[in-house]
Amino acid sequence: RVRHEPLLKSLAHYLKEKPQVIAKMVPLDVLYTASSLARMKIFDPEIYGLLAQNILLNRKVSAKQGIYLMQSFSQAQCLENGLVEALAPILHQALQRGGKDPNISDWVVALGALSSVDATPAVDTVCEGIIHFAMEQLNRNLAISGLNISQLLRA
């Protein structure tokens, strides 16, 4: 990967100076931006706040996108309950549909991300749903990878 510090700083500065760029992003763009920033270790709360605001206003996010948004925000230590509570109904609906899309690995990622926020009724409901789904997988003797098991134990 190319890691050019001046370019990264310029892009971060640009995003802060031009919030309309983030405001016009579709959810997939927000996800890619958040995950790229986290991967490049650019943990700027102001930028993540703008990205969260986009999602809070847009809400046309799939459950899988919501999970990986939470993970990116969590990696950057910028995941806040407001974003989680906005995504909770989407995640809860996916779990009620059987939880197969997203798959068990995705749900394990979600549980890990959710472990970084304060407990609220919405957070607790999603966590309980994920745990119930994982228990169903185990009870039906469906394969759960060693990595997923270790991440479940860690969360």
pLDDT at residue 139 in the model: 77
pTM of structure: 0.86
Sign of CA dihedral 89, 103, 78, 12: negative
Question: With 0-12 CB in 10 A as exposed, 13-18 as middle and 19+ as buried, what is 153?
Answer: exposed
> How many CB atoms are located within 10 Å of the residue 107 CB?
27
- The contacts of residue 31 (CB under 8 Å, 6+ apart) are 65, 68, 69, 72
Q: What is the pLDDT of residue 106?
A: 92
Say what percent of the chain tops pLDDT 90: 58
Q: Count the neighbouring beta carbons within 10 Å of the beta carbon of residue 87.
A: 24
Residue 64 or 146, more confident: 64
Q: What pLDDT does 100 receive? A: 67
In this structure, what token pair is assigned to residue 112? Answer: 């890990």
Model confidence over 53-90: pLDDT tens digits?
Answer: 999 997 689 999 999 999 999 999 999 889 999 999 99
Taking the C-alpha atoms of residue 40 and residue 38, their distance in angstroms, rounded to an integer, is 5
Segment 40-46 shows an average pLDDT of: 91
Q: For the residues of 40-84, what is the DSSP string, one character each?
A: TT---HHHHHHHHHHHHHH----HHHHHHHHHHHHHTT---HHHH
**pLDDT bracket for residue 143 (50, 70, 90):** low
Pair of tokens at residue 151: 């991440």
pLDDT per residue as tens digits for the range 110-140: 999 998 898 889 899 999 999 888 888 777 7
Query: Two tokens at 135?
Result: 């228990």
Residue 15: name the closest of 2, 40, 34 by CA: 34
Rounded CA Rg of the chain: 16
pLDDT at 146: 75
- pLDDT at position 154 over 80: no
Residue 2: pLDDT band with limits 50, 70, 90? low
Report which listed range, 24-33, 99-108, 112-121, 132-141, is most confident.
Answer: 24-33
